[in-house]
Structure 1
């Protein structure tokens, strides 16, 4: 990829802004309703430390489901591949991200993958620590190290809003506990999970996370292997197969890069060996993906030949 100027990105933003009219901001989490539907911004971050941003770059977002990639990486580092995947599957699903249906029909009753809510709850359960605060602080420190930004924190307003409206996730947890996938107090897990989802970042932070994954888990400015190479590979594979909810197949065809979206409007992309991409566009399509953000990535991928396929 060879995007060299902010102006090139701004032209793409200008082309795609019109698509924001075709979606809606997330409304089932009250705090997310405050987002401005017309916002659209993007950052690209390269291994040599160059970064370019365009659009409404002053806006921040909460990670929401993008956090599932990071909690998975940490859980795999804590517990190992065999332990994690004995409790969570590795297969895509065509169902919505918050569906309980497959849990009832699968034998054994374990979540199909870590990118749906049931799987993400099981993964967050595996993060080591004595209590919610210690586990959250470990995840925050992990994200701060990846982004080289020690100012990243939880948006308490969003976390509280999510906690109060998390009854479907509570239902998933109780089902999983009945089947011994989860073995902890459900309210503690929901507290941790909603705070995980409410970690607040910028587009540039997302691009830096994507860049570390793109470079096999190495943070290039420090040359530190923050995420083991094999775990980074696993995370990118899930991003390709499951990262864009039940639109992942179409996204792979049209864009062709590992990516993970969240209902706040964020998308984090990792172009293998090349760069990371962070995007914010809170107007969502019916699948829960940023409607203008996906269009923007389609144009970016086509213009710079980003597809890995």
Structure 2
């Protein structure tokens, strides 16, 4: 079991925090620039309902790209694996998460995987509902259920900031619409996607969601199946191969657990059948991952032999 106490975890947080001076808070979404560069918080949630935490745990995090995993699970539940992966692939990429180049050179402009922006937009496009409001309400209720927190909502400020500056994502959408990967109004899809990315929670909520994936979709305290086991396992596999942007291979070697990061500085990890982890450290490295969050996970993995490989 990683860390026997919050004090032990706090020691690792303080060690990892030293890396924040080498990172930079995301600034291409203006609202994210308000984050404090040197903050770092972590929670580890176990299947018996116990949780230990350390750091600036009062901080709230918007999910950003972490929401891609949750939307993928939801779209698979809505549409099935065959339908979803007819529009998006399984393959990792060495290109940045917001790159358009693979759409231009890949077969039928199909996004390579659901963890890059193009693939995530195609996945969110498949979530069912008669309106943007209904579709987002369904996503939000799903996330609340995974976290066991009915008070989770989204940051209107971050959603608007992201919507107003989503020029590259609009380009990805128009390219995919030209090639029949999506067929809805681009502005509607961007509105839904930016609200999805702006869903807000703390590390405790994030760790609890990680635990559901760790337990193959089961909420361990109640025993309720929130995600079909095959869907949860597929999501974890893509977290291993694609979840840390174009640093996923290095992360698999150095840490070795399924994880997904976001440019707000969040990381959600799932150690199969053992625990979920939620991290928030807004200082990012050059690939868009939390620099101190990665260091903390590397310290945890090295000390407690967490790698699944």
Query: TM over 0.5, yes or no?
Result: yes
Instruction: Measure, in 1, the Cα distance between the counterparts of 2:146 and 2:223.
Output: 11
TM-score, normalised relative to structure 1: 0.99
Deviation at 1:131, TM superposition (A): 0.6
> Normalized against structure 2, the TM-score is what?
0.99
Q: Equivalences for 1:266-285 in 2 at 5 Å? A: 266-285=266-285
| 1:207 aligned partner | 207
Paired residues, number: 309
Matches within 5 A, 1:1-309: 1-309=1-309
1:16 Cα deviation from its structure 2 partner:
1.0
SS at match of 2:93: coil
Cα RMSD between the aligned structures? 0.5
Kindly provide the CA deviation profile for residues 181-228 of structure 1, in whole angstroms up to 9, marking residues without a partner as x: 101000000000000000001001110011000000000122101000
Give the secondary structure class of the aligned counterpart of 2:306.
coil
Q: Which runs of 5+ in 1 are unaligned?
A: none
For residue 109 of structure 1, report the CA deviation from its aligned partner: 1.1
- 1:260 aligns to what SS in structure 2? strand
| Cα distance in structure 1, aligned partners of 2:72 and 2:107 | 22
Q: CA shift at 1:3, angstroms? A: 2.1
| Secondary structure of 2:42 counterpart | strand
Q: CA deviation at 1:2?
A: 4.1
CA–CA distance in 1 between the matches of 2:293 and 2:2?
Answer: 20
Measured in 2, the distance between the counterparts of 1:44 and 1:242 equals 22
In 2: Cα distance, 1:102 partner to 1:245 partner? 14
1:4 Cα deviation (Å)?
A: 2.0
Contact 2:214/2:276, CA 8 A, preserved across alignment:
yes
Equivalent-residue separation in structure 2 for 1:165 and 1:109 (angstroms):
24
Q: Secondary structure at the residue paired with 1:108?
A: helix
**Which region of structure 1 is more displaced relative to structure 2, 224-233 or 3-12?**
3-12
Deviations 1:121-158 (A, max 9, x none): 00000000001110101011001111110010010000
Please say if residues 2 and 300 of structure 2, whose CA atoms lie closer than 8 Å, have aligned partners that are also in contact. Answer: no
How big is the shift at 1:13? 0.5
